[in-house]
Amino acid sequence: MELNKIAASILLAGLMIMVVSNVVDMLYSPEKYKIEHKTTIATVENESQQKIEQVALDIGALMQNANFEKGKSVAKKCIACHTFEKGGANKVGPNLWNIVGNNKAHLGSSFNYSKAVLEKGGKWGYEELFTFLKNPKAYIKGTRMAFAGISNPQEVADLVSYLRSMSDSPVALPK
């Protein structure tokens, strides 16, 4: 009977180590799990993909329902690398004051942008921000930004609403 208890204890300890190991892997290696998710989306039928794209492109409706306060809360994910106030210092990432509607490399030579961002060019419109914030590395291949992205479109809209307010003259909302 004692031998069974010992064997059960060893098996339970092994199971606990395996579970903790998997949880730690998910917390510290989110890119690995994102790739699996992308593969799943790629195998979905064309009709389903079109529905997913239509939802993602309804930026106007998402922005109409965006909540500034929730966006301010979502922006806490960004404060380790970015500042938001006017004239704020650059950190690992550039200051994000007046980012919506501005050039992608909006600070010019006062921030060392990656070559990928400089080559991408263009302005940070609503569609560009939504695509970038959902998956930065997919939108600008070669970006130094290590952020994995925000999967919830309403959270992205809330964050963009907050970013939009960080300007002397905010860009008009999309229709």
Give the tens place of pLDDT for each residue, 38-90. 444 444 444 444 444 444 457 888 888 889 899 999 999 999 999 999 999 99
pLDDT band at 109 (very low <50, low <70, confident <90, very high): confident
**pLDDT score at 175:** 74
Q: Which pLDDT does position 30 carry in this prediction?
A: 52
* pLDDT: which is higher, 117 or 33: 117
The pLDDT > 90 percentage for the chain reads 51
pLDDT above 90: residue 32: no
Query: Would you tell me how many other CB atoms lie within 10 Å of the CB of residue 106?
Result: 19
Q: Which residue has the higher pLDDT, 146 or 47?
A: 146
The helix or strand, by DSSP H or E, that contains position 110, with its residue range, turns out to be none
Q: Please, are residues 117 and 143 in contact by the beta-carbon 8 Å criterion?
A: yes
pLDDT at 125 over 50: yes
Closest C-alpha to 131, from 143, 140, 123: 140
With 70 as the cut, is the pLDDT of residue 127 above it? yes
* pTM assigned to the model: 0.65
Run of H or E residues at 107: none
| Tokens (6 digits) for 73 | 């809360």
Residue 129 near residue 163 (C-beta atoms within 8 A) = yes
Mean pLDDT of the chain: 83
